[in-house]
């Protein structure tokens, strides 16, 4: 499937609010190909030359609903630091991911969040959990996995999994106090 800025569904389309369905395993060849195409988009979107040539907006993740497929699949590539401060790249092609636990400590990105499906700017803090545990089938590993995510990776995963429920990042911004900063929040 061709995925670029023209084919990604925007928040003006009611389809983006549709709830996604579980995906049967083992994956059909169509679902596997879609997930691989989604991963290719995320990886290629960070290469300025490819991104310009193929009309890609930079991304760290994309969910199937964003290309019009209401299935619980997401591709994520996050460059971050591990708990010891070493550079690490997290790459997942997740099927039916679900959060099985989350921390009480809140977290947010100081500069706010963005989304391939959201063209307009939405200023404000998107409050999420600082740490989560996710269980899913991962096509990269070709097995069921458990991810213990913290910080930026945790925020990215929560953002992508929200798409399965038809929730966009700006739904989390407090309309009364968009820049509210909860006590004890991890600010990234």
The CATH number for 123's domain is 3.90.45.10
Residues ≥6 apart with Cβ < 8 Å to 44: 50, 51, 54, 56
- pLDDT tens digits, 79-113: 998 778 899 999 999 999 999 999 999 999 999 99
Q: Which residues are catalytic?
A: 160
- pLDDT tens digits, 10-20: 999 999 999 99
C-alpha count within 13 angstroms, C-beta hemisphere, residue 122: 18
Residue 146 — pLDDT band, cuts 50, 70, 90?
very high
Spatial distance between the Cα atoms of 17 and 164, rounded to a whole number of angstroms = 9
In a domain, 3, yes or no: no
In a domain, 5, yes or no: no
pTM equals 0.95
Give me 117's structure tokens.
């499906």
Looking at residue 41, its pLDDT comes to 98
User: Domain limits at 121?
Assistant: 14-187
In a domain, 112, yes or no: yes
Looking at residue 78, its pLDDT comes to 97
In a domain, 1, yes or no: no
In a domain, 88, yes or no: yes
- pLDDT tens digits, 147-163: 999 999 999 999 999 99
Query: What's the domain count of the chain?
Result: 1
């Amino acid at each position: 499937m061709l995925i670029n800025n023209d084919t990604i569904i925007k928040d003006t389309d009611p389809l983006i609010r549709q709830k996604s369905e579980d995906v049967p395993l083992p994956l059909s060849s169509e679902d596997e190909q879609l997930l691989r195409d989604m991963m290719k988009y995320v990886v290629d979107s960070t290469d300025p030359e490819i991104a310009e040539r193929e009309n890609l907006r930079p991304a760290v993740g994309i969910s199937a609903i964003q290309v019009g497929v209401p299935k619980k699949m997401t591709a994520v590539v996050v460059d971050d630091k591990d708990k010891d401060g070493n550079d690490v790249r997290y790459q997942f092609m997740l099927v039916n991911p679900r959060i099985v636990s989350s921390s009480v400590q809140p977290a947010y990105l100081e500069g706010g969040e963005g989304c391939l499906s959201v063209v307009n700017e939405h200023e404000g803090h998107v409050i999420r959990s600082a740490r989560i545990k996710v269980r899913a089938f991962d096509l990269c590993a070709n097995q069921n996995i458990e991810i213990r995510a913290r910080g930026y990776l945790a925020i990215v995963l929560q953002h992508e999994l929200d798409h399965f429920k038809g929730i966009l990042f700006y739904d989390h911004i407090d309309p009364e106090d968009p820049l509210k900063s909860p006590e004890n929040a991890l600010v990234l």
